[in-house]
Amino acid sequence: MLPSGEQPVELHAPYFAGKEWHYVKECLDTGWVSSAGAFVEQFEQQLADFTGMRYAVAVVNGSAALHAALLVAGVESQDEVIIPALTFVATANAVHYCGAVPHLADSCERTLGLDPGKLRRHLQSIAVLRDGACFNGLTGRRIRAAVPMHTLGHPARLDELAEVCADYRLEMVEDAAEALGSWYKGRHIGSWGCLAAFSFNGNKIMTAGGGGAIVTNSEPLARAVRHLTTTAKVPHRWRFVHDAVGYNYRLPNLNAALALAQLEQMPMMLDCKRRLARAYQRAFEQAEGVQCYSEPPQCRSNYWLNALVLEEQHQGELEAVLELAHQEGIRARPLWTPLHQLPMLRDAPRMELATSESLAKRVINIPSSAFLIGATRREAWNS
């Protein structure tokens, strides 16, 4: 049991060691705390530079980012959107916000993300290409897009998934909520689809308190996202004219100030995260019945959350391991309940999901805060 008075080790906690206080105080001192302000534009530009993208649009959270990205990618009511069954429920929620239908696909054990081979075989069996579009031959609905999610910060096999999407006339929108600071084949994730969505929630590798962003290399798509997330207001000095149903999704300047200070520290935090991952890998190298998950080939992962993977013969022990960890003050957690096992998605169209079901019974996330290794004091981080 955790000794009296000792604090538990959280799964992932934010760490503020840069100019957060200074930037937030500037917002308070000047009164620029809402969705207009210099920090919003500064953060968007620096995020675009960091990811190597041409455009970034900051919004209130990752769910809003993915919702807006799907709408701008052309997802319409009653379309189907392919998403992994093994993902946080927000991926499916964003599809539902569009009035569309999640179509659940299986994951790859080596990447934890969408399996391009299984997806291709599934589409070969159910898809009908007609008039330049892809339709589900079983439901009659159009399959409009696919959303690879980069699980725990590890990139999915994006080039192969892009090929599948091109062959079946699907838009690819990356759910990069967990993957800021991850690269696939030398390119930052987010650049393989037409748009990508990030999250800056309090438990992410960097945080704005909440916050999210959409990135793209397309000027028309960036302009459409910015318009849609600003209540579709036509620019004018005083008149309120709106030319579509829009959303009040823009990131407040106060949050952007926090985000900018965090983004400035990303190289340091990524270095700490990778050193922590290597320490875990060494610690579990000789352990029996469990492996410490490492980044897939040709990837440079941010290791947002480190993961232990139980061997299949030990999958029935997951709950006991989690109970013991929590008794010892270690805030470990499992992966998410596979989406097809949630009540609102039990009837969703899907392929066979054996790998997703297996991983959900075997993966344990362990504490991964950047400050768990290396410098632990503000003065050391700023030196």
> pLDDT tens digit string along 198-225?
999 999 999 999 999 999 999 999 999 9
What pLDDT does 32 receive? 85
3-class secondary structure, 136 = strand
- Phi and psi at 345, nearest 5°, equal -125, 10
DSSP annotation of 364: E
Domain count, the chain: 1
For residue 245, what are the domain limits?
A: 1-383
pTM of this prediction? 0.94
3-class secondary structure, 176 = coil
Which residue has tokens 């600071």? 181
CATH number at residue 361: 3.40.640.10
pLDDT higher than 80, residue 192 = yes
Q: What angle do CA 154, 229, 21 make, to 5 degrees?
A: 70
> pLDDT tens digit string along 37-76?
899 999 999 999 999 999 999 999 999 999 999 999 999 9
